[in-house]
Chains A and B, each alone.
Chain A
Amino acid sequence: MSVVLNYESGSYRDRDGRVFVDSEGGICRALSARALAEWNVVRQTRFFAAATATQRVVSTETLLDTSLISDEEPTDHWAGVLRHAVVPFVSYPFEWSFGMLQDAALLHLELLEQALGEDITLKDGTAYNVQWYGSRPVFIDVPSFERHIPGQPWAGYRQFCQTFLYPLLLNAYKNIPFQPWLRGCLEGITPQQCRNLMSCRDFFRRGVLSHVWLHSQLQASRVVEEVDNTRALSASGFSKELIRANVTGLQRLIRGLRWKASASVWSGYADANGYTPADRQAKESFVRRAVQTQRWSLVWDIGCNTGVYSRIAAENADRVVAMDADYLAIERFYQSLKATPQPGTATILPLVNNLVDPSMGLGWRGVERKALVDRGRPDLTLCLALVHHLVIGHGVPLHELLTWLAGLRTNLIIEFVSKADPMVQRLLRGRRDNYADYEPEVFERLLSEMFDVVQTERLSSGSRTLYFAKAR
Chain B
Amino acid sequence: MENVVLMTPLLAYFDPGSGSLVLQAVVGGAAGLMVFAKYLWTTAAPRFFRGAPKPSEMDQFSSHQVS
Contact = CB atoms under 8 A, between A and B. Distances in A.
Interface of A: 13-16, 123-124, 149-159, 161, 191, 210-211, 214-221, 223-239, 241-243, 245-246, 249
Given A219-B20, A236-B35, A245 B28 contact: yes
Contact of B35 (A161, A214, A226, A242): A242
Given A15-B13, A156-B16, A214-B23, A226 B28 contact: no
A233 B16 contact: no
Given A217-B19, A227-B63, A234 B14 contact: no
B5 A149 contact: yes
B43 A227 contact: yes
B19 A243 contact: no
A127 to B, nearest CB: 14
Q: Chain B: interface secondary structure? A: helix
A237 B66 contact: no
Interface in B2-52: 5-10, 12-29, 31-32, 34-36, 38-39, 42-44, 47
B56 interface: no
Nearest to B66: A228
21 contacts: A123-B12, A151-B8, A152-B8, A153-B25, A156-B12, A157-B16, A161-B20, A216-B19, A218-B20, A220-B19, A224-B44, A225-B19, A229-B22, A229-B61, A230-B8, A232-B42, A236-B35, A236-B42, A238-B25, A243-B28, A249-B27
A139 B5 CA distance: 29
Given A227-B61, A230-B8, A234-B7, 10 more contacts: A15-B13, A149-B5, A149-B10, A150-B5, A153-B10, A219-B18, A221-B19, A224-B19, A229-B61, A246-B27
Contacts of A217: 19
A157 B54 CA distance: 31
Contacts of B62: 226-228
Contact of B23 (A151, A152, A218, A223): A218
Interface of B: 5-10, 12-29, 31-32, 34-36, 38-39, 42-44, 47, 60-66
A226 B64 CA distance: 8
Contacts of A218: 18-20, 22-23
Contacts of A149: 5, 8, 10
Nearest to A154: B24
Which 7 pairs from chain A and chain B are nearest by CB?
A218-B19, A242-B28, A219-B19, A158-B20, A158-B17, A236-B38, A232-B61
Contacts of B17: 157-158, 219
A227 B38 CA distance: 14
A238 B5 CA distance: 13
Q: Which of A149, A158, A223, A229 has the most CB atoms of chain B within a 10 A radius of its CB? A: A229
Given A150-B5, A243-B28, A237 B35 contact: yes
Contacts of B22: 218, 224, 229, 233
A242 B64 CA distance: 27
Contact of B61 (A159, A191, A231): A231
Contacts of A238: 24-25, 35
Contacts of A216: 19
Contacts of A233: 21-22, 24-25, 35, 39
B23 to A, nearest CB: 5
B31 A245 contact: yes
A307 to B, nearest CB: 37
Q: Which of A149, A210, A224 has the most CB atoms of chain B within a 10 A radius of its CB? A: A224
Q: Which of B9, B26, B28, B65 has the most CB atoms of chain A within a 10 A radius of its CB? A: B28
Contact of B16 (A13, A155, A237): A155
Contacts of B18: 218-219, 221, 224-225, 227, 229
A154 B20 CA distance: 9
A32 to B, nearest CB: 11
A230 B7 CA distance: 8
A237 B25 CA distance: 10
Nearest to B63: A228
B36 to A, nearest CB: 8
Contacts of A124: 12-14
